[in-house]
A = this chain, B = another copy of it.
């Protein structure tokens, strides 16, 4: 359980920082100033976890631990200094994938540890992993990453599902979390590299029917 806690804490900081970096990268696209960089980094970085904590009725994790916000600001600063090279969107995609993989496990684990039923824990992991990016895109007034055709929600769903199911079979927290993280990352990587997509809705999809 101690290893699980340590892993969760580590994953939590990592996910917050990489999501924060994606927020700063979104700010970079519009050439915002350093304060707006920090704002986008903070909101994106802690947004998913904040939603998770509100939903499960836990104290919001960063309010008493400002280090999370500092991690976001450090990520924003790093983007400011190093973020002007080529391939920035590609970096954003991969950081977002890492954040997604970390958060689906962290979200599910925290929900389960507070007594949510397994199915709810999976839902919570999925929702909160996806909401970091959603909040960023809504704030930046861009089409949400949810609206891309590539597999995205599915990766979070599988990651959270693997973790929760392994936990139900009494697998310890650390390997279960690692397996969930790896599963989500593998699926999202396939989506980024190979354009993996599930079959879309087979019916008519035009707006005005």
Question: Chain A residues in contact with chain B, CB under 8 A?
Answer: 27-40, 42-43, 50, 54-57, 59-60, 62-64, 66, 69-70, 80, 83-89, 111, 116-117, 119-120, 123-124, 126-127, 130, 134, 138-141, 143-144, 146-147, 149, 151-154, 157, 197-209
Contact = CB atoms under 8 A, between A and B. Distances in A.
A109 to B, nearest CB: 15
Given A57-B60, A87-B209, A37 B201 contact: yes
Contacts of A127: 39, 42-43
Q: What's the number of copies of this chain in the assembled complex?
A: 3
A155 to B, nearest CB: 9
B130 A141 contact: no
B39 A205 contact: no
Given A50-B55, A141-B143, A141-B147, A66 B201 contact: no
B116 A63 contact: yes
Contacts of A123: 42, 66, 69
A158 to B, nearest CB: 9
A198 B141 contact: no
Contacts of A85: 203-204
A39 B147 contact: no
